[in-house]
Amino acid sequence: MSRARVTHSRLGIPHKTSRALSSSTGEGGDALDGSTATLKPTNSTNDHAEQFCPMGRGKVCTVRSSKGENVLFGSNFTFSCIFNKQCTKLMFRNRTLIKYKQYPNSSEVSVDVKNLTEPSTFSCNCKEERSEPCGIDIKPGYPPHVPQNLTCIQKIKSGNVTCIWTTGKGTIINTTCQLRVQNGLHLAYESTMNSTGFCHSSFPIKNLIMPQLFMLLNVSNSLGSKTSGPHTIILNNIVEPSMPEIVNVSCSSRWCNLHTDNHSLNVVEMKYSEVNGNWSTLQTDGKSRLNISSLQPYTTYNFQIRRKINDSVGLWSEWSQQKAAKTKEEAPDKVLDVWYLQEPKPPQSNSKCFHIFWKELNLSDAKGEILRYNISVREQMGMRNPIIAVPPSRNERICCSHCSVSVSAVNSVGQSPVKFINLHFPGLVSGFLSHRTLNNYSVALFWHKLAIAGTEYVVHWYPVGNIEAIQWIRVVDTTAHITGLQPQQCYEGAVTALRSPGPKMASIKSISTWQSAPEQGPVPQLCSKNSESLNVTWSEIPQRKRKGCLKKYTVYLMDKLKGDIHNFSVDHPNRQYVISSLSPGQCYSLWVTAWTDAGEGPKGSDLPVCTPSDSERMLSLVILTGGAVLLACLILLCFCQFTSVQKRFLCCCQGLLPIIPDPANSKCAKTCADDQSEIKFYLDQCDSSVNEEPYNVDVEEVPYPSICTYIKSFSQESSSSDATQITRITDMTEDYISTHGAISGGEEEDEEEETGFEFFPSTHSPFLEPLVLTGGKLTLDAVKIDCSEFLDRT
């Protein structure tokens, strides 16, 4: 509704205080003469204007404009100076010296100005004197148009009437506005037009008891004057209530109730919007509760209200200050969008591991702040303990076999419906997926339906090396548009067909919308070398430095002596290469570069390397062999420090002694047998566990004519000096006085039990078995034994 029947709109421009002038009322379009200000006729202009500069003493000139200080925009006029003394005359425009014309026998000089479109300062002075110049500021402008579009408002609180009107466009020069009220006192209120062509005036009517007002409008400046009216203003139509205030807002999850300051108005209009959203309006009876329904849970809204006296008359008040409030939460009612990727199965492992991902619910679906995600795993053996993930986490790693997973979101009110998904290793399909770049931010994927048949397809993609940034969409067609890609970034992805026997997946790598050459080169390292080959590896290039998808590497090798450069191509992602057929004792410089489809990147750091010569190789071999032998000797020496090892070593060495003939086959032994002399020898010389003190035994001498005396029994071991000789003799003859009769006769052998270091773990070594002579006959007819030393000691 209009403020008054003059404009049908409300114009908001800065107000200036008006002056009340007592005046008489003139006819519309005629000049209005006031007692304190005079309105010039509409056709009156100043053809001449003079300005005399107050120079005081030494005054040199007087200036004059043919059309005054204010001229019509783009008009022509003459500026002149009349000098009061003879001197060298100077004329300036905006402090710039200009040429002038001088009349004969006259002290006046002038200049013709053409098409003035901007304010300018014209001045004159004498060259010989340093006095203040005389001058004038001349402004171009427009005469005012007829006043129109009058709008008036009466504030209930103050009771004043404020009116605004316009003259079409700004006049540029100073223009005076005047409003005359033709009721009773015939008051006139004067103000100044602003730069946009609006006039403003305000006056009180508290003491005026009248239903309407009659007004005359006038605008004037030095170029002209215009008047319109009388205009009729009905006071009831321009009454505007004061701006209301929202004191408090109380909300549930779906509605809010506005509490305002006390008022007795009949009509209230409310408007509300989400933050940065569109406004919605609602009008209600002012006596009813200000309730707004159909709101979204857990959403912040801004509220404003305005009011007026009734539906038919009056103006709407200004909108109140915004009041923000947030609705309460509700339990989520939408199922999460869940997807998963399988990890490569480790060798010799029955477990399968998966990465589970889910999309975050938007505000309207979450209906509150998501506090956690509940993840449940069901296996053949039953349910596992639930897994809890806390935002912003939106993925979880799960290892299981023949299992299903359920995921749900939880806020402070409740839980969303559960999303179930069976985890399968999809069958792989290759060679049926292609893509085409649409622009720098999107790619189109295509696949054949016969190759990947399914009722629904899941297309996922993620930046290389950042699987947590995965995104996916679900489609039913064989085409998908991937959006939101970043230029100079490499992606990989796949299309999975969901079908009842099991999912099928076709993967695609090296997806990029726009690429450039890499910004950084790999850093090479030497793994190993010999006289004819080098084994080199190099570092990965950081993702942000790749500027696309890497295709290959180039290894450069420069011969420092000849200057020849050889290069070798290695496909990405391999980062190791063996360079062969090199010359021994030669030095090289090696570096590596990386490639994308856009070109080759800079080289990394240089790696100086020299192949060893043949002499260096032989010296290295000798050093390695000597070191190995020395190490083996040190280890053997350490083992020999153990007593048990020493005894076993000696026992093994005794098995290497020559075999001595058995004296049982001699004639002397046979004769002694006839005399019922029984010779028995029990010996276990190799028993290292015998560590007891030697014991005394009886020795019986059996006389035998002209031959020798045989030992019937003796001690196995003695530590005395007297027994040393006998022990040595028994050691020498142990084989032929030991086992021919006694051991072979079936006597039980003792077992060795050692608690020390066991050098020979096997107890059945041939060197540790007792020597048993069987078969063959040996006589002592040709063997002479000197027993004199033995008989002397007995």
Q: pLDDT, tens digit, for every residue of 299-344?
A: 999 999 998 888 888 888 899 999 999 999 999 999 999 999 988 7
Tell whether the model's pLDDT for residue 760 goes beyond 50.
no
Residue 624 — very low, low, confident or very high, per pLDDT cuts 50/70/90?
A: confident
Between 740 and 207, residue with greater pLDDT: 207
Share of the chain above pLDDT 90, in %: 26
Give residue 450's pLDDT: 62
Query: Which of 266, 276, 250, 278 has its CA nearest to residue 306?
Result: 266
Give residue 791's pLDDT: 47
Compute the distance between CA of residue 767 and CA of residue 222 in angstroms, rounded to an integer: 141
Q: Which residue(s) pair with 358 in the sheet?
A: 338
Give residue 348's pLDDT: 58
Span 578-605, pLDDT tens digits: 998 888 888 999 999 999 999 999 998 9
Span 343-381, pLDDT tens digits: 876 655 666 889 999 999 998 899 999 999 999 999 888
Span 498-522, pLDDT tens digits: 876 778 888 888 899 889 999 999 9
Give residue 265's pLDDT: 65
Compute the distance between CA of residue 525 and CA of residue 574 in angstroms, rounded to an integer: 14
In the chain, the largest separation of any two C-alpha atoms, in whole Å, equals 191
Helix (H) or strand (E) holding 358: strand 352-358
Give residue 627's pLDDT: 86
Q: What is the pTM of this model?
A: 0.54
Give residue 350's pLDDT: 66
Tell whether the model's pLDDT for residue 8 goes beyond 50.
no
Span 514-570, pLDDT tens digits: 899 999 999 999 998 888 889 999 999 999 999 999 999 999 999 988 888 999 999
Give residue 324's pLDDT: 94
Neighbours of 202 (CB within 10 A): 20
Give residue 766's pLDDT: 42
As given in the structure block, the two tokens for residue 640 are: 């020999």
Between 26 and 720, residue with greater pLDDT: 720
Mean pLDDT of the 175-181 span: 85
Give residue 20's pLDDT: 32
Tell whether the model's pLDDT for residue 383 goes beyond 70.
yes
Place of tokens 């020395």: 630
Span 230-288, pLDDT tens digits: 888 888 888 888 888 899 999 999 999 998 876 666 788 999 999 888 999 988 877 67
Compute the distance between CA of residue 467 and CA of residue 511 in angstroms, rounded to an integer: 15
As given in the structure block, the two tokens for residue 28 are: 């519309």
646 Cβ neighbours under 8 A, 6+ residues apart: 640
Compute the distance between CA of residue 389 and CA of residue 395 in angstroms, rounded to an integer: 8
Mean pLDDT rounded to a whole number for the chain: 75
Residue 54 — very low, low, confident or very high, per pLDDT cuts 50/70/90?
A: very low
Query: Which of 243, 261, 262, 240 has its CA nearest to residue 318?
Result: 243
715 Cβ neighbours under 8 A, 6+ residues apart: 694, 695, 696, 697, 723
**Cβ–Cβ < 8 Å for 168, 145:** yes
Give residue 664's pLDDT: 59
Q: How many whole angstroms from its chain centre is CA 72?
A: 64
Give residue 369's pLDDT: 93
Residue 46 — very low, low, confident or very high, per pLDDT cuts 50/70/90?
A: very low
Span 672-682, pLDDT tens digits: 555 444 444 33
Residue 185 — very low, low, confident or very high, per pLDDT cuts 50/70/90?
A: low
Compute the distance between CA of residue 220 and CA of residue 175 in angstroms, rounded to an integer: 6
Between 189 and 419, residue with greater pLDDT: 419
As given in the structure block, the two tokens for residue 129 are: 């004197």
Mean pLDDT of the 15-37 span: 32
Tell whether the model's pLDDT for residue 418 goes beyond 90.
yes
243 Cβ neighbours under 8 A, 6+ residues apart: 306, 317, 318, 319, 320
Helix (H) or strand (E) holding 182: none
